[in-house]
Chain A
Amino acid sequence: DVKVTQSSRYLVKRTGEKVFLECVQDMDHENMFWYRQDPGLGLRLIYFSYDVKMKEKGDIPEGYSVSREKKERFSLILESASTNQTSMYLCASSRRWDSWSRSPLHFGNGTRLTVT
């Protein structure tokens, strides 16, 4: 089974802190994604990556950055945490999506971040 592991289940940080959310997958997947989930808004895409050292902005990248130095690890960075970044953060991975095929997305358990 695919395993996507997020380093923390719950995290509490103060406004202005630099926050690192870590995600590791064990299936040699090329694609990795960061979403945030807020009540009534579904999941919104923050950043994604097709391969090592590659990154693409999603719908709401402001206030976030990412790092993918190794294929299995995709880190989300909040440069200076703010209260409006309090949310559930979900990491996902999948095999490469080719022109003719797609593979299922697999999610981690999520990190509930509270910024006070």
Chain B
Amino acid sequence: GIQVEQSPPDLILQEGANSTLRCNFSDSVNNLQWFHQNPWGQLINLFYIPSGTKQNGRLSATTVATERYSLLYISSSQTTDSGVYFCAVERRTGRRALTFGSGTRLQVQP
């Protein structure tokens, strides 16, 4: 199956700092989504971004499909950004379901 690697595994920031999370994947994809899991365990979809760039408030994401990676940018981080960020992909040829990376755990300190 497809391999999804996220880095860094853990990240500690001061409030107001910026950060970049990376997702590398091992095969061509036609579906890539970023999720945030809050400290209470709820998973929220942030972006559907198989290619190109999208922005939503302080968050933006870029996927370079030809080079098989995606980046999630968090600007002016807030304590509410804490949690785990997951990248998930669907291989272009194969089953229609998302395979998840192991996540980046972000802690934003006040």
A residues sitting closer than 8 Å to B (CB atoms) are 31, 33, 35, 40-45, 48, 50, 56, 58-59, 88, 90, 92, 97, 102-107, 109-110
Contacts and interface: CB of A to CB of B under 8 A. Distances in A.
A40 to B, nearest CB: 6
Interface of B is mostly: strand
Contact of A97 (B41, B42, B96): B96
6 contacts: A31-B96, A45-B99, A97-B96, A102-B50, A104-B33, A105-B33
Given A44-B100, A59-B1, A97-B96, 14 more contacts: A41-B102, A42-B101, A48-B95, A56-B95, A88-B41, A92-B43, A97-B31, A102-B50, A104-B45, A105-B45, A107-B35, A107-B44, A107-B45, A110-B42
Contacts of B41: 88, 109-110
Contacts of B99: 45, 59
Residue of B35, B43, B44 with most chain A CB atoms under a 10 A cut-off? B43
A66 to B, nearest CB: 13
